[in-house]
Each structure stands twice: as C-alpha cells, then as structure tokens.
C-alpha cells in the first residue's frame, strides 16, 4: 500500500523551506504515491486513503511544482487525470479529454477563485459572471456517446485521455435512455455524468453479497464502480445503478449558449439531471447554496462530497480555457469531514487473528462523510467503560480521517432509562475458550485488550491464522489468497496449516476432486499444487513468522532464527522457560530485541500442547533451512533492487517481500550500486536515472517471472 499523506518527514516542512534537492526527492515520492492511489481508485475501485488525504497529496505536489517549475514536464502528475484503463476492457480514446476539477475547502478559497476569474476576464467585483452550483456526486464518471439520438458507445474516465469501453453495461442502466427524445438533439452528443447508487439500493446489494458469502462493498461509490466495470453485463443489470448528466465532450452543435441551458436541454432529451442545480449571480448566493446542499446532504439518499461551481456563459468558459489538468472556469467546493448521530442497536464482539476481542457498535445506518456507516469500532473493553457506551444509546459518529468510523460519545439526554452498562464477555464467542486480559510485565497493569486463549482451535482465529500463514511475508503460496483460504476452511479442505501440504494427496482420494469444483479446472488445480510444493522448503525466520505467535513480527522472527538456528532449539527453550527462574528464561529475555513481552508470548504458545502438535506435523511436511540457504540458489541473492512506478498485480510491500525472500536488498533510490530496477506503470525519474546509468530494467511481468523462477521468452 502507498504511504499516507504524512509519511514523508520532508512534508513537515513548508514548501517555501524546501531546498532544490529536497523538492526533487519529495516530488518523485509524491508522484509515485499519487499514481498508486489513482490506480487503486480508478482501476480497482478500492481507494486506500480518503478523498481529503488524496487532495492533500495533490495540493502539496502542485505547490512544489509552482515553486520549482523545473520539475514540471510532460510526464508530470499534475498534467494527468485518473489512471490508465484496466486491461480487462477494450480502450476508448476520448475525443475531448475528461479533465478533473480544482478543489477548494474554505469559503476564502472560493472567493480567491472568483477573484482569479474576474482578473482573467478583466472585470470588477460588480460585474462577476453568473455561475451554476450543483452537488458533486460521489460516483464513477462516465461518457456516453449518442449519434443521431442513438446510444452508440459508453466509456469510463480512465486516465482522462483513454477510458474503458463499458457500452454493454451502460445499456443495462434504466436511467440512461437508449435513444434521446425531443427537438434539436445534436447529430453527435457525448454526454458526461456520474453513475451512482442510492443508499437503500447499496444496502440491499450488500445484504445480498453477505447472504451469498461474498465480500461486501465499503461504500456506494465502490459498489457503483464495481458494478459498472463488470465483465458480464448481466451482473451490472442486476445492480440498480443510476445516472446524473451534467457535462459534455464532443458535440456537433450545442443546444444552448449557457451551462444551465445545456443541462436543461439534457432533461428535455430524456437524460436524468440533478434537481439541486442553481444559477447564482453573486458569491453570497453561491455560498448560500453550498450551505443548503450541505444541510440536505444526509437526507438526499445518495452520496455527494461537495458542490461544483461553473461559469454559466459558455463563451466565457472558452475564453477562460484550462490550466494543467483543470478548467479555469470551474471549481469543486469540498465538504469538511462530517459527523452524524445514530442509535447503537447492538454491540458485537469480533475475534481477530491473535485472539483479540474487539467490540463493534452495530449502528442504525447513517451517512457520514459520504459513506453509509452501519458499524463503528469501540476498540476494546476499557474504551467502552471509559465512554460508557450502551446498547440503545444515541451516539455521535465520525469517520476519523474520513476512513475509519469511530464513536465519539453518547448523547446523555437521549439515553433510554433501560440502558445498562455493557458486560464484556469473559468467554470467546467463537469457541467458548476463556478470554483474558494479560498483565503487562512492564506496567504491572492489565492490558486494555481481552484475548481468546483458544489459539488454532478457535474457528475465528483459524481462518485469520491460515491467511497469515500463506501471506507474502510468511509461506507466500501463490493462488492461496484470503478468499480461497476461507473457502477451503468452510468446505473442510484446510483446517490447520499442515493440511495445506496434504491437500494434493487427499484430493487424489477424494470423490470430489478440486478441479471439479466451481472456480477451478485441471490447470488451476495443478498450478495450486505446484505452488504448494514449491514452498516445502522455507527459511527459518519465515516459518517462525508464519506461526502467528503474538508479538513475533518479521524483525523478531529474524532475531530468533539468528539466535536459535532451528525450530527444535527454540521450542525446547520456550518449554523449559515456563519456569521463570531457570536459565532458559534468562536466555530468552537476553536475546537482543526480544525482552519479556515476546518471551511470555513464546512460552504461552509452546505451552499449549495443540500448538506443539501443529509444529510437529508441519515439520513432517516441510523442510526448514537457514535464511542464507533459502536464498543461496536465487539469481537475486545479494543484489540490490529498486521498485518504481505503479505495480498493478501486486502491492509494493508484496514485491519487497518477494525480493527479500530471494535474498535481495530493496532500496528506495537508484545509484551505481543498484543491480535491477523494476518499473511499473507511470515510472518517472528513477527509471530515467537507471537508463542513464545503464542499470538493467524490467517490467512487472518480468519481475514476477523472475521471482517465480520462470524464464522469459
């Protein structure tokens, strides 16, 4: 995952204090981050950060370019929109680019925008042009081409220059007419607007997804985008997508001379338009309409994230023109983070991979910051007690950073008389094992988190521990991702880690072979068995990390592997260390980077007979070797690799884990010591420097083949 907006230490400095070198470094880092977020948002419909954090990245990037114009070139992120279209769809070249809007977050920024428009047009404050003001719909941008009134093609925004052909899917949306009606329909008219879902339809889709055991969507925007970008139009047809038309691309003859006039013509042609669009003649009217829409936001039934202002006169729009990737004549006035109040209908306990019991408030669905929220974390037992949250309370909810819903507190005047303090369970709701709060040896106090002691016998932990076991930094078994692990667990194929390595033999004896199951075939089943077989030899540190022992992360696993050299030596020491006065306990706690907390976790893990049994059975299936031996036959052993650009098939963290597993060192910058540069989409300065230095460069597909040991053609 790309880093957050606050990841770089340079960003603590105002742009005005950056040196040329600092600016160059941060500009390159921001370029890669923005590219990755564009890909996640536009291609995967799975944003990793909030719109507000994304806007901060963009603004910082553009501020740097404004102060250091030498950094701006044709490949600059400020000259691009969106992300490259997905390879799943045919491409459509936009005859008129689909650009994005500049953003404002305060009234003062809106007034500055109006002043810029007046200066450009050489007008005084008394002769400000009229503006339209309309809700900014939070959906998926779409361009729909009509020829002689007939719908002929539809495309997503893509990167602004080229989008994805979604014509067949758009034809299934009832709100979009196949044929335009009325007088004066242009010979060619490309209508642009937003595909979206209403909140009630979104709730029904998610309910259906849950009933079918499929992942639910995070918000209506993701659901709308995922629905429109289905390879099977029949799936799109089952989703009640809607559409608002508000702009245009190529057009043979405009039906009006104003923004408002064209939108009114759209409505006459049979296209859906937003009823909240208004014509404003003063800044006061514009800001008043913004306040009105903001006040109605939670009751509209669909998501919006601001108000868009556009100069109404189309001749003035043409005079104003464009700057970078945005029109000078339009602005998006974004809403601040939103809070809402809603009742707590229940408190449920979720059990995580490490056995942590996390209370979740089940809320009456409410729109908060453009997202329908029905769940919010209460963090832990102490947090519930501190805030005194009870079932039946009406609470204030906010999405922290516009991403994670959190309960701020309850409204005392609205508390029911029957509401009683929440009694946190002392038994795991998933397996019935005791749930305890450990004593922190450093403070002598109980931890805030209560944990299940069931370990791998707990079904809630089992799936998560299996997912962890096969993850990139652990056994890294290709084709055995989170969804497939859950499916195999539900169907009884894999219940414990060792079951993965007996799957092929059991499959041969089964009356229902894997290749006969839905989603599999002979080739995919064979590929999975080969991937499992390829992991029968594993480095000791990765084996220890894969066990999912509490507090044993990647770095700790490496320290343990370095100290003990074998699983047997670690297990014998941990078992002996149950006696805290013996030499084994002293040995554990004296290892650099370990300490009492990790030592307690190791002792607790190996104290459980079922955990020792699992380790024993695993060692019968796999060979555990030193990290050096695991990497010595790798073509990448000892080499320095740099990743740049947007990786599309794996994340940057997954790529790094692959490289380290093969004995390579991953660097963040290109130098003469770099051996290999892996360039993803939109690679910039690092790729250029690698070519300048004559360093070998490969694309993502070649990297995956290299990491898997597949020879390129």
The span from the CA of 647 to the CA of 664, in Å, is 18
For residue 17, what are the CA distances in angstroms to 4, 23, 69, 76? 21, 9, 16, 22
Annotation marks residue 656 as catalytic: no
The span from the CA of 596 to the CA of 375, in Å, is 36
621: number of CA atoms within 13 Å, CB side?
22
Rg of the chain in Å (alpha carbons): 29
Record the tokens describing residue 245, joined without a space: 């038309």
The span from the CA of 661 to the CA of 666, in Å, is 11
Record the tokens describing residue 595, joined without a space: 């300490």
**For the purposes of burial, counting CB atoms within 10 Å of the CB of 649, is it exposed (0-12), middle (13-18) or buried (19 or more)?**
exposed
- Three-state DSSP class for 624? strand
DSSP-derived letter for residue 354 is T
Residues pairing with 357 in the sheet: 351
DSSP-derived letter for residue 512 is S
Q: Please give the torsion angle defined by the CA atoms of residues 311, 313, 316 and 321, in that order, rounded to the nearest 10 degrees.
A: 60
CB of 545 closer than 8 Å to CB of 552: yes
Packing angle, helices 459-469 and 482-490, rounded to 10: 140
Record the tokens describing residue 541, joined without a space: 């540190």
Q: Please give the torsion angle defined by the CA atoms of residues 194, 197, 198 and 201, in that order, rounded to the nearest 10 degrees.
A: 160
- Three-state DSSP class for 146? strand
Please state, as a whole number, how many other Cβ atoms lie within 10 Å of the Cβ of residue 100: 18
Whole-angstrom distance between the N-terminal and C-terminal Cα of the chain? 31
CB of 113 closer than 8 Å to CB of 287: no
DSSP-derived letter for residue 231 is S
CB of 254 closer than 8 Å to CB of 262: yes
CB of 307 closer than 8 Å to CB of 134: yes
CB of 86 closer than 8 Å to CB of 229: yes
Non-local (6+) Cβ contacts of 688 within 8 A are none
Closest to 21 in 3D by CA, of 53, 68, 58: 68
Sheet bearing 640-644, strands edge to edge: 665-667, 640-644, 676-679, 696-699
The span from the CA of 443 to the CA of 597, in Å, is 11
Instruction: Please pick, among 3, 13, 88, 136, the residue that the annotation labels catalytic.
Output: 136
CB of 140 closer than 8 Å to CB of 195: yes
Write the Ramachandran bin of 407: left for phi over 0, alpha for psi from -120 to 50, otherwise beta.
Answer: beta
Packing angle, helices 583-590 and 567-576, rounded to 10: 120
The answer to whether the Cα torsion of 163, 168, 169, 173 is positive or negative is: positive
For residue 496, what are the CA distances in angstroms to 12, 168, 460, 502, 612? 46, 44, 13, 11, 13
DSSP letters, 479-491, are: T--HHHHHHHHHT
The span from the CA of 554 to the CA of 473, in Å, is 8
- Active-site positions read 136
């Amino acid at each position: 995952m790309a880093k957050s907006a606050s990841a770089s230490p340079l960003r603590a400095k105002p742009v005005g204090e950056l040196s040329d070198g600092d600016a160059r470094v941060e500009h390159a880092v921001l370029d890669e981050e923005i590219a990755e977020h564009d890909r996640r948002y536009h291609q995967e419909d799975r944003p990793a950060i909030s719109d507000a954090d994304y806007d901060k990245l963009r603004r910082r990037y553009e501020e740097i370019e404004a102060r250091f114009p030498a950094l701006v070139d044709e490949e600059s992120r400020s000259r691009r929109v969106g992300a490259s279209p997905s390879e799943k769809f045919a491409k459509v070249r936009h005859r008129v680019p689909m650009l994005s809007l500049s953003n404002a977050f305060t009234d003062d920024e809106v007034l500055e925008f109006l002043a810029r428009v007046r200066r450009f047009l050489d007008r005084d404050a008394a002769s400000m042009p009229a503006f339209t003001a309309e809700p900014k719909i939070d959906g998926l941008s779409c361009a729909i081409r009509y020829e002689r009134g007939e719908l002929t093609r539809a495309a997503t925004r893509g990167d602004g220059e080229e989008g994805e052909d979604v014509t067949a899917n758009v034809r299934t949306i009832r709100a979009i007419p196949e044929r335009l009606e009325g007088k004066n329909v242009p010979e060619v008219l490309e209508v642009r607007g937003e595909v979206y879902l209403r909140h009630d339809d979104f709730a029904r889709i998610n309910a259906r997804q849950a009933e079918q055991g499929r992942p639910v969507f995070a918000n209506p925007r993701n659901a709308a985008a995922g629905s429109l970008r289905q390879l099977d139009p029949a799936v799109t047809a089952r989703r009640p997508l809607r559409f608002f038309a508000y702009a245009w691309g190529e057009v043979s003859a405009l039906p009006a001379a104003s923004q408002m006039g064209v939108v009114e013509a759209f409505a006459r042609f049979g296209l859906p338009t937003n009823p909240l669009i208004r014509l404003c003649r003063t800044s006061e009217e514009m800001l008043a309409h913004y306040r009105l829409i903001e006040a109605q936001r939670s009751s509209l039934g669909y998501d919006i994230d601001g108000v868009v202002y556009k100069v109404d006169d189309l001749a003035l729009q043409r005079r104003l023109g464009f700057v970078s990737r945005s029109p000078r004549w339009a602005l998006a006035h974004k809403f601040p983070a939103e809070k809402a109040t809603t009742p707590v209908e229940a408190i449920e306990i979720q059990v995580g991979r490490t056995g942590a019991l996390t209370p979740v408030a089940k809320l009456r669905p409410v729109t908060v910051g453009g997202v329908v929220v029905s769940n919010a974390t209460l963090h832990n037992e102490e947090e519930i007690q501190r805030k005194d949250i009870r079932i039946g309370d009406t609470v204030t909810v906010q999405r922290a950073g516009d991403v994670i819903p959190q309960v701020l507190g309850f409204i005392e005047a609205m508390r029911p008389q029957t509401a009683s303090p929440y009694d946190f369970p002392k038994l795991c709701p998933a397996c019935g094992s005791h749930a305890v709060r450990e004593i922190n040896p450093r403070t002598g106090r109980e931890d805030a988190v209560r944990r299940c002691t069931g370990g791998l016998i707990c079904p809630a932990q089992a799936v998560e521990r299996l997912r962890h076991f096969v993850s990139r930094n652990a056994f890294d078994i290709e084709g055995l991702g989170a969804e497939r692990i859950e499916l195999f667990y539900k169907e009884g194929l894999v219940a414990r880690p060792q079951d993965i390595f007996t799957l092929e033999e059991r499959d041969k004896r089964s009356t229902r072979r894997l290749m006969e199951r839905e989603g599999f075939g002979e080739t995919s089943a064979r590929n999975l068995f080969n991937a499992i077989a390829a992991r029968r030899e594993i480095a000791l540190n990765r084996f220890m990390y894969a066990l999912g022992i509490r507090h044993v992360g990647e770095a700790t696993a490496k320290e343990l592997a370095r100290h003990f050299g074998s699983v047997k030596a670690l297990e014998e020491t941990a078992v002996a260390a149950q006696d805290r006065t013996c030499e084994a306990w002293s040995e554990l706690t004296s290892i650099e980077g370990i300490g009492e907390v990790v030592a307690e976790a190791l002792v607790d893990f190996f104290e459980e007979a079922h955990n020792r049994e699992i380790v024993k059975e695993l060692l019968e299936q796999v060979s555990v070797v030193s990290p050096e031996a695991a990497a010595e036959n790798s073509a990448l052993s000892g080499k320095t690799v740099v990743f740049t650009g947007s990786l599309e098939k794996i994340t940057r963290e997954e790529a790094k884990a692959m490289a380290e597993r093969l004995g390579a060192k991953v660097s963040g910058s290109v130098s003469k010591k770099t051996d290999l540069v892996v360039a993803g989409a939109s690679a910039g300065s690092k790729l250029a420097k690698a070519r300048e230095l004559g360093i070998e460069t490969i694309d993502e597909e070649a990297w995956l083949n290299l990491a898997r040991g597949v020879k390129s053609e």
